[in-house]
Amino acid sequence: MRHFERGSRIAREALSVTATAAVAAWALWHASAALAPTVALAGIAGVITFALSFRVPLAPARNRSVATGLVLVAIAVVVASQAEAGGTRTGFLVVSGAVLFCAAEVAERSLSYPSHVEHRPGVERWGQAWVLGVAVGSAALSYGAISTRGLLANGGPAALAAGTAAALLVAVLTTLVVRARTRTAA
């Protein structure tokens, strides 16, 4: 039996904020002089919004804050990587996505265990593996898909196909979310 320690929670918070800030800093480092102000502004706003989520007590507002922060950092990353070459840019975005996802999950795990809760061993054993697995797997898959698409089509019809696939994926996800929300109401 062990208690969920305050120190551990602070370490998780620091880790997730540091990871988000590292992505934003990396974006700023690669940004051109013309885009640097925009990237810096979006990155700083994103990291601050993300960090502020640790002070939000209610889960819905907290998740909104995390999502807003990640979107702002993602905008900084996308804008900063405009000038990069195709393969480098894809790798940059893939790694950024994986890091941001891990940061969001670490933050969520830190916030979902209040300090007065006794945290018994064995609970998170598979949870962390899943987080890393999804981050690495999705990063590898998206990198592979984008690279294959670049190699095979190099624009035009492939972009259209990718857009159609993306739209389909959005439709599927929306259906799942609506279904889940319907369950909530029930």
Partner 1 sequence: MSKPAATSKVVAYAALTGIGLLAAVVFGDVAIVALAAPFGFALVSGLLAPVAPLPEVHLELDTTRLVEGGRATIALELSTPRAIPRCDVTLAVPADLRTEGPTGWSLRLEADSPVLIEVPITAEQYGRFVIGPASTSVPGLFGLLGRSGAGGGKLELEVRPRGERLRTLVRALEVRATVGDRLARQPGDGIEFAEVRPYSAGAPGRLNWRVTARLGAPYVNQRHPERSTDLILLVDTFSPAALASQVRAAAGLAAAYLARRDRVGLVAFGGVLNWVEPSMGLAQLERLVAALTTTKWHHSYAWKSVEAIPSRTLPPTGLVIAISPLEDPRMLNALATIRARGVDLAVIETIGRRAARPETAAGELAARIIELERADMRANFGRRGVPVVAWHDSEPLEEPLDALALWRRRARGRVAR
| Binding positions for partner 1, 156-175, rule CB under 8 A | 158-159, 162-163, 166-167, 169-170, 172-174
> Is residue 46 part of the contact set for partner 1 (CB under 8 A)?
no
Cβ proximity to partner 1: between 17 and 75 the closer is 75
Distance CA 102, CA 10 (A): 16
3-state secondary structure of 94: helix
> Is residue 54 part of the contact set for partner 1 (CB under 8 A)?
no
> Is residue 90 part of the contact set for partner 1 (CB under 8 A)?
yes
Among positions 5, 32, 120, 151, the unique one binding partner 1 when judged by CB under 8 A: 120
> Is residue 63 part of the contact set for partner 1 (CB under 8 A)?
yes
Write the DSSP symbol of residue 57.
-
> Is residue 126 part of the contact set for partner 1 (CB under 8 A)?
yes
At a CB cut-off of 8 Å and minimum separation 6, what does 146 contact? 90, 94
> Is residue 8 part of the contact set for partner 1 (CB under 8 A)?
no
| Of 68, 15, 19, 61, nearest in space to 45 by CA | 68
Half-sphere exposure of 126 (CA within 13 A, CB side): 0
> Is residue 42 part of the contact set for partner 1 (CB under 8 A)?
no
Among positions 77, 79, 80, 107, the unique one binding partner 1 when judged by CB under 8 A: 77
Binding residues with partner 1: total (CB under 8 A): 74
User: Is the torsion defined by CA of 138, 139, 145, 148 positive or negative?
Assistant: negative
